[in-house]
Chain A
Amino acid sequence: MTSLPLRQVVATTAVVARAPRRRGRRPLAWVAEHVVLVALAILFISPIVFVFLTSVMTSNQTLSATLWPDPWTWNNYVEAFQRVPLARWFGNSAIYATSATLLMLLSSIPAAYVLARIKFRGANVIFVAIIIAMLLPPQVTAVPVYLMWSKLGLTGTLLPLILPNALGDAFSIFLLRQFFLTIPKEYADAGRIDGNGEWGVLVRVILPMAKPGIAATAIFMFFNSWNDYYGPLLYTSENPQWWPVAYGLATFRGIHGTDWGLTMAITMLVMVPVVLIFFFAQKIFVEGITLTGVKG
C-alpha cells in the first residue's frame, strides 16, 4: 500500500557520480548563479532547522514569538517517549518494514529473474500486468482487499500490510528485473552449461552479481513501509497497539491543542533514521546506477 515510489528510486539511483561539464563563464554570471543557489539552499534547509530549533524549546517558548531557543532543552525528546508509546511505534515500524522487505525479496527475486532472463509464451502479458499493478492507484483495489482481510479477521494488525509481500511486490519485481537485465545473459547461459538448474543459476550466478540492485530494492521497500501512512490508516487505525511511527506522528495531539515542541521532537525522531540510512547506503545507490532505462 505504498504510493508510487518509482521516481524516488530513479532519482536516488541516478545520484550522478560524475562532475558536470565545465564551461567558460563570465565572473558576473558565476556570481549571479551562486547567489541564487545559496539563497535557494537556505530556503530548502530552513524548514529542517526550524523544526529542530522548535524541538529544543520549552513549551512556553513555542507559544511566544521567538525563533531561537533560550534556554535549550532536550526535555521534549525525553517527554516524547513518556507521553506517547514512541518505543512501541518504532518497534511496530521496524517489524512492518523488516518483515515486508524479507518476504518481498523471497517472492520477488525469482519472479524478476524469470521475467528478465527466460523467454516463454505469456511473459509479456505477465510483465504488462505487473506494470499496470504497479502504476494503478492502490485505492482502486482497496475495498475488496480490505473486505478480504476483514473476513480473515486480520484487520487491526499489520499483517494485511506484511503478508501480501510473500506473493510478490509489483514495483520490486519491476526494479529487480531492470537490474537483472543489466547482467549479460551469457553468464546465465554459462551457469546452465555448468549443469545448474534455474535455481542454481539464480543463486550461484545471478545473485552474487546483483547484490547492489537487491540491496537498493530492499532499502526502497524498507523506506516505503517505514513511511507508509495510507496502509496503517486503513488497517490499524482501530487498534493503537499496532500503530507504526509514521501513523502515530500524524495522530499526535497535545492535551490542550498542539504542543509544537513535543510534536517537532517526534518529527525529528521520525526523520532522522531514514536520512541516516540514506547517507550510509549512498554508495549502494550509486553502484546500482544503470537500471531503470528512463534515460532511454
Chain B
Amino acid sequence: MTTLAERTTGRAVIAARPGQQRARRRRLLVVFGMLLPALLGLAVFFVYPLLASIFFSLTRYDGLSDPQWIGLRNYQYLFTEDPNVWVAAGNTLWFVVIMVPVKLAFAFAVAGLLTRARRSSGVWRTLFYLPALVPPVASVVAFVFLFNPGTGPINLILSFFGVKQGPLWFNDPNLSKPSLLLLAVWVMGDVMIIFLAGLLDVPRELYEASSLDGANGPQKLRYVTFPAMIPVLIFSLVTGVIAALQYFTEAAVASTVALGKASVGEGIGATLGYPDNSLLTYTEWLYVRGFSNFQFGYASALAVLLFIVAAAFLVLFLRKVKAFMPEEATS
C-alpha cells in the first residue's frame, strides 16, 4: 500500500520515519499549490459553465431578471420551431464533411510532392506554410477582396480569358461556402507540414521491400504509405473536425466584409449569414440568439446540443490520439 504522500514523491520511498512523514506532507502541499491555479481554472471556466449551461438551457433567461424554469421548452423549440437552426447546422455540417476532407486531401498531395523535391525543400515548405501564418481575419479580408465581383483580381483575370460576367463568389449564396473552401485550402500549410513530417518518417525499407514484391505506385500508397500514416491522419482529422464544428471567425468576417456597408447600430447579428444565410454557421446562430438577442436560456440549449455532438465525436476518436492519453505520462 502506498500512501498519497508516497505517491507524490515520484520515486520509490525507502522508509517512512516520523520526521520524513511531516516533510512529505509539506511537499504534498507544495505540489497542490503548484496545481491550484489550474484546478481553479478548470472549475471556474470549464466545470461550472458546463453545468450552468445545462441549467440555463432549461430556463428562460435574459441575463437581467432571474432565470425562469421552463423545462424542456427550449429544446422543443430548437427541434421543431427554430427557423434557422437546421440551416445553420447544415452549413456547419458542410464545413465538417466537405471542407475538412478536401483540405486534408490537398495537404496530403502537396506534402507528397514536397517529399520528391530534392533540392531547396526548405524553401518550398516555408512557401506553402506561409499562408497558414496569416492572421485569420486578415486572410478572410484578403480573400473577399481577391474575389470581389467588382474589381477583384480573380474576376479581372477571368475577364482576360473572356469571362465577361465573373461569378459573385462571396456574394452568391451558392458560391460563398466554396469560396471559403478555397481559403481553407490556401491555409492548409499547418496540416501539410504534419503530413510531410509523417511521410518522411515512413521507413524507406518498406518501400524497397514492396518494390521487390512487385508493387506499383498506387499499391505502395495503399499498402505502405496509408497504414504508416494512420496516426497522423487521425490526429489531423480529429483536430480538423473539432475546428470545423466551431467554425465562426472566417464565416462571420466573410459575411461582414462581403456585405460591405457600414452596419452602425445594427451590430454584427444583422450581417451574420450573408449572403442569404448561406454562411450562417451553428456557432454564429448561437451567438445571435445569445449575444444579440439576449436569449441566454435558448443559447444555452444550443450550446448543450453542440457539447453533445462534440463530446460524442471525441468519445469515438480521442483514444486513438496517443498524445491525448494520460498513460504517456509514465513513459
Residues of chain A at the chain B interface (Cβ within 8 Å):
3-4, 6-8, 10-12, 14-16, 18-23, 25, 30, 33-34, 36-37, 40-41, 44-48, 50-51, 54, 62-65, 67, 107-108, 110-111, 113-121, 123-124, 126-133, 135-148, 150, 164, 166-170, 173, 178, 181, 185, 188-189, 192, 197-199, 202, 226-227, 229-230, 233-234, 237, 246-247, 249-251, 253, 255, 257-258, 260, 263-264, 267, 270-271, 274-275, 278, 292-296
Contacts and interface: CB of A to CB of B under 8 A. Distances in A.
Interface stretch (B48-56, B82-90, B218-226): B48-56
Given A19-B121, A65-B151, A117-B10, A294 B235 contact: yes
A contacts with B: majority SS = helix
Contacts of A170: 41-42, 46
B contacts with A: majority SS = helix
A296 to B, nearest CB: 4
Given A3-B246, A140-B307, A11 B191 contact: yes
Given A37-B117, A140-B307, A44 B41 contact: no
Contacts of B45: 133, 141, 145, 164, 167
Nearest to A139: B283
B41 A107 contact: yes
B156 to A, nearest CB: 6
B130 A249 contact: no
A73 to B, nearest CB: 17
B75 interface: no
Given A11-B191, A33-B117, A129-B42, A113 B34 contact: yes
Contacts of B184: none
B39 A126 contact: yes
Contacts of B197: 14, 16, 295
B135 interface: yes
B14 interface: no
Contacts of B39: 126
A271 B117 contact: no
B53 A144 contact: yes
Interface of B: 4, 7-11, 27-28, 30-31, 34-35, 37-42, 44-50, 52-53, 56, 63, 110, 113-118, 121, 124-143, 145-146, 148, 150-151, 153, 156-157, 159, 186, 189-194, 196-198, 200-201, 204, 231-232, 235-236, 239-240, 242-243, 245-246, 248-249, 252-253, 256-257, 260-262, 267-268, 283, 286-287, 290-291, 296, 299-300, 303-304, 306-307, 310-311, 314, 318, 321-324, 326, 328-329, 331
Contacts, number: 363
A4 B239 contact: yes
Given A41-B128, A257-B261, A295 B121 contact: no
Given A147-B63, A167-B37, 8 more contacts: A10-B190, A11-B132, A33-B117, A127-B326, A141-B50, A143-B52, A251-B256, A275-B130
Given A107-B37, A137-B242, A143-B300, A118 B10 contact: yes
A170 B8 CA distance: 22
Given A127-B326, A198-B27, A21 B200 contact: yes
Contact of A139 (B44, B140, B141, B286): B286
Given A7-B240, A11-B129, A168-B38, A140 B310 contact: yes
Contact of A118 (B8, B146, B256): B8
A34 B228 CA distance: 26
Contact of B34 (A198, A253, A274): A198
7 contacts: A47-B146, A114-B31, A117-B10, A137-B310, A143-B290, A167-B45, A294-B235
